[in-house]
Chains A and B, each alone.
Chain A
Amino acid sequence: MCYINKYNLVVRFGNKDLAKYPFLKEAFSYIAKYDFKLEDLNSRDYLHLIDKANEKIEQYLFFGRYEYQINYSKTHETIVQEEVIIFLISLLLVKSISIEAVTKKFALLESMRFEKYLISDLNTANRDDKTIKMILYKIFEDLFSTKILLEENVYNFYKIRINDYLDHPIAFQEKEWNLVNRTLHNGFVYLDGNEIVRLFRNELYLLIIDRIKKMSIDRIPDTIMGISKSIKTRWEQMHPSFNTPVYKAATPPCIQHIYDQISKGENLPHPARLLLGTFLIYSNKTMEEMLELFKRLPDFDEKITRYQLEHLAGKKGGSKRYYVPSCEKIKLENLCYETKICQGISNPIQLVRKKLDI
C-alpha cells in the first residue's frame, strides 16, 4: 500500500492502480516485500509470467501491436505482483537482447500502453474523483518533476506552469506543441486529458530506456537469456544490416539524417516521415522498397504506412500528389542539416537531379 500526502488528504493507492503503473517505485517495493529475487525466475512457478512477457515483446517487435491485457481475474494482490514481475522480465529480456533499435521499439510501445491507461484514467475520473487524480498528479510529479493542476471552473482542463511546460522537449519539437500553439492564461498552459498524457509520452519512453540501460547484464537469469537469444535471432533475420537505399553521394543531408535516425531505431516525427515518403516516391522506389525502410520505425504498421504512402503518391484520398517539401519548409520543420553541397538549391531533389545529370 502507498499513502500520498497532498492537500492534507491521505489517498490510498489501490492495488489495481499499481498494476497499471508497474514502473512506479511503490510497485517495485511491493514485490520486494515478498522477498522476490531475480534468481527466482529460473523456477517453474514463474514460467507463465515469462511467457506473457515474451508474448508481449514479440507482439511489439514483430507486429507493432500493444494490445496487451492485464489479467484482472485474480486477487488484487496477485494482479499487481504479476504485472510488476512481467514488467521486470520484459526489461531483462530487452536488456539481454542488446540491440538499440529493439530497446527503442520496446520503450515506445510500452510507453504507448501506459499512455493509454493514463488517458483512460484521466478521462473517466469525474470532477469529484479526487483520489484517481491525485494518484496521477503523484505519478507526474515524482517521475517527471512536473506539477499539474486541474482547472476547476472550465470543464476538465489541466494546467501546467509555462516554465514547467517548456521543460518538456516536445514543446520545441513539434509545431502544434510549440508555446505559440498552446492556450496560455494567467501563467499556465492549458491542456485537455489527452494532451497532458501525450506530453509525458516522451518522458515515459525515456524513463523505460533509462531503466533498461541501468540494469546489470550479469544478473539476468538463464531462462531469460535463452528466450532473448531466440528473439534476437528472429529480429536479426528480419532486419539485415541497413543499407542506404539511394546513392550516398546524391543523398541530400536532410534525407541522410533520416536514414541515420532509422538505423539507430529512433522514431520519426510526422514531418520527417512526409519528407522521406515524398523523397522516396520521387526517387521511383517501389512500394516494397519503401516499406522495407519504414518497417524499421518502432511504431511501424504496414497497413497504415502503405495507405499513407499511396496517399502521398496521389493514389488514395483526394488523388492529389504530394511533392518533396522545399528547403525552406524543411528548415521550418527543423529537419535541415545543410552542408556545402546544398549551396544554391531550394529543394533536396535538385541534388539528386544534379548527381543523375537530369
Chain B
Amino acid sequence: MSDALSFNSNEPIKKGQYTSKYQNAEPDDKNKNWLEGIYRRYYFYHYSQLEVGELINEHEFGFKLFDGKIHRHLAFEDKKELYAYIIKFSPSDIFYSSSRYQNPKAEIDQKGWMGSDLIFDIDGKDLHLECAQSHNLVLCKDCSFISKGIISKCEGCDSTRLQIIDIPCTRCIQSLNVEVKKLIEILHDDFGIDKESIFIYFSGNNGYHIHVVDKNFYGVSAKKRNAFAQYLMGKGYLIENLGIRKNTEGVLFPVHNKVLYNQGWRKRIFDSMHLPIQNHRIDDKFIKKYNRMLVANSNNIQDIIGTHIFDLSAKIDPNVTMDIHRIFRLAGSINSKSGLIKAFCKDLDSFDPFVDACFIGDSNVEIESKLNIKISLKGKQFSIKTGKNTLPEYVAAYVICKGIGDIME
C-alpha cells in the first residue's frame, strides 16, 4: 500500500481530473462514477476529518468500493498510508474496528483481540416514527418505481420486493436525540459512566453511534456486552422487582413495607408512573396511589407497566453492542446512503446533521429527478421537480445516494 502514498500527495487533483484516473465503479454506471469522483475530492481536501487514533496499526479497516466489493481485514501502519489508500480507491464506505488487535489483518479468530470501546447504535428506522410514514419512500426492486409512504406492494407492478428509502426529517432527528439522551442517562446513572467518556456521532444517514471510552468496560466480553444491551432495553424485566406480587385472583398488588433500593430501572419506572416511594419502602401513600391506578385501569396494571418500560428503554440494536469484531463507519467518512458524513456531535442540542454533516462541494450540476421532493441541506430548502434540475453538488449527491435521481452528462 505504500506505493499509494505518492499518488496525489504531491500532485493536487484539479477539478474535472479526479474522475478519470482510478475508476472503481462500473464503467456504465454514471451515478457511481460521478460519486466516486466527488468522494475522492472530499477525501483529498478533508482527510483530516477522518478520526483515527494514534494506534491506527492495531485496528482493522474495511472498505466498500463503488464496484460493490467489500474488502475487510486491512490494516495500515500510519495515517499517511491510510489517506493514500482512501484517495486512491475512493471507497463508497469506510469502516474501522472499535477493537484493537495484535494482528488486525488476520482472520477473526487469529486476530488477538485486545479490547474495544462500548458502542451503541440507535437507528431511526427502529423507532417506527409516525412522520416516517409521510416522508419515507419505497423503491420497487423489480420495476424501480418509487412510491411515497410505507406500502406493502409496489403501486406500479404489485411486486413485494421493496426497499425503504429513509428521508429523515427534523422531527426524526429530534426523536433520535431523545433516544440518545435516554441512553446516556442510563449509562451515567446506572453504569456510572462519566458523561465526558461518552461520545456521540451522527451516523451520516438516520441514526447515531454512541461510543463509550472507559477503561472499566474496554476488556468486557461479548457475553457481558449482551447483558448490558438487554439491561438498557429493559428486556426480560420482571415485574416482581417493583415489589409487586400476584394474589390468588391474579391481580398484582404491592407488598406493604417491602424495602427496595430505589435506583436503576425501579426508580425510573416508579418516577415515570408517579408512584411515590420514600426511604426505599413501599408505604401507605404508595399503596393508595397504586390502588387508584389499579381501579382506573380495570386491574390491568401489567400492560401499563409494560408501556412505561417500553417508553423508558433505550432503542439500541443489541447485535451492534455485543459484536466485538464489528467494523463501524469511520468518523469523518461519507455515508453512501446519503452523501453526508459520520460526524461528531459536540452538543447534541445544537447539532444539525443536515448542516453540520454536509461537506460536499457546492458547484452546480444537473440531475434528473425521478420525483418531486423537498430537501433541506446546509440551511437551504430545495424544491426538486421531476426531471431536470440544476443543484449544488451536495444536494445532487444526496439525491443520487438516495436513488431518487441520476446525474446528467
- Interface residue ranges, A against B (CB under 8 Å): 151, 154-155, 157, 161-163, 166, 171-172, 175-176, 178-188, 190, 318
Contact = CB atoms under 8 A, between A and B. Distances in A.
Contacts of B224: 163, 166
Contacts of B223: 166, 172
Residues of A contacting B: mostly: mixed
B248 interface: yes
A142 B193 CA distance: 28
Interface stretch (B57-65, B262-270, B337-345, B397-405): B262-270
Given A171-B227, A187-B192, A188-B192, A180 B234 contact: yes
B233 to A, nearest CB: 8
Contacts of B191: 162, 184, 187
A323 B254 CA distance: 28
B190 A184 contact: yes
B10 interface: no
Counting chain B CB atoms within 10 Å of each CB, the highest count among A176, A179, A180 belongs to A180
B139 to A, nearest CB: 34
B238 A176 contact: yes
Interface residues of B, number: 30
Interface string B226-240: 011011001111101
B216 A178 contact: no
A162 B191 CA distance: 8
Nearest to A171: B227
B265 A180 contact: yes
Nearest to B248: A318
Contact of B236 (A180, A186, A190): A180
B189 A185 contact: yes
Contacts of A155: 259, 261, 280
A157 to B, nearest CB: 5
Please name the 4 residue pairs, one residue from A and one from B, whose CB atoms are nearest each other, closest first.
A187-B192, A185-B263, A184-B190, A186-B192
B261 A154 contact: yes
27 contacts: A151-B261, A155-B259, A155-B261, A161-B216, A162-B191, A163-B220, A166-B223, A172-B223, A176-B238, A179-B228, A179-B231, A180-B230, A180-B231, A180-B236, A181-B236, A181-B237, A181-B238, A183-B261, A183-B265, A184-B190, A185-B264, A186-B192, A187-B192, A187-B216, A188-B192, A190-B261, A190-B264
Contacts of A318: 248
Given A162-B191, A183-B266, A186-B189, A178 B280 contact: no
A188 B189 CA distance: 10
A305 B76 CA distance: 64
Contact of A154 (B265, B266, B280): B280
A172 B236 CA distance: 12
Contact of A166 (B227, B237, B280): B227
Interface in B334-385: none
Contacts of A190: 261, 263-264
A207 B276 CA distance: 44
B241 interface: yes
Given A163-B216, A178-B227, A180-B231, A185 B190 contact: yes
Given A163-B220, A176-B238, A181-B238, 4 more contacts: A175-B238, A180-B265, A181-B241, A184-B264
B235 to A, nearest CB: 6
Contacts of A175: 236, 238
Contacts of B228: 179
Nearest to B313: A180
Interface string B285-320: 000000000000000000000000000000000000
The listed residue with most B CB atoms (<10 A of its CB), out of A161, A162, A171, A182, is: A162
Nearest to B236: A180
A97 B308 CA distance: 56
A189 B238 CA distance: 16
B268 to A, nearest CB: 11
Contacts of A171: 227
Contacts of A166: 223-224, 227
A133 to B, nearest CB: 18
A38 to B, nearest CB: 41
Contacts of B241: 181, 183
Interface in B194-225: 216-217, 220, 223-224
A187 B193 CA distance: 7
Contacts of B280: 154-155
A174 to B, nearest CB: 11
A151 B248 CA distance: 36
A154 B241 CA distance: 18
Contacts of B248: 318
A154 B192 CA distance: 18
A176 B238 CA distance: 7
Nearest to B191: A187
A163 B216 CA distance: 8
Interface in B247-279: 248, 259-261, 263-266
A157 B227 CA distance: 22
Q: Which among A172, A176, A182, A183 has the highest number of chain B CB atoms within 10 Å? A: A183
Contact of A179 (B230, B260, B261, B266): B230
Contacts of B266: 183
A178 B228 CA distance: 10
Nearest to B232: A180
Contacts of A183: 241, 260-261, 263-266
A5 to B, nearest CB: 26
B146 to A, nearest CB: 38
B264 A178 contact: no
Contacts of B231: 179-180, 184
Given A155-B259, A166-B224, A180 B237 contact: yes
A180 B259 contact: no
A170 B197 CA distance: 30
B263 A184 contact: yes
A44 B7 CA distance: 91
A240 B235 CA distance: 44
Contacts of A185: 189-190, 192, 261, 263-264
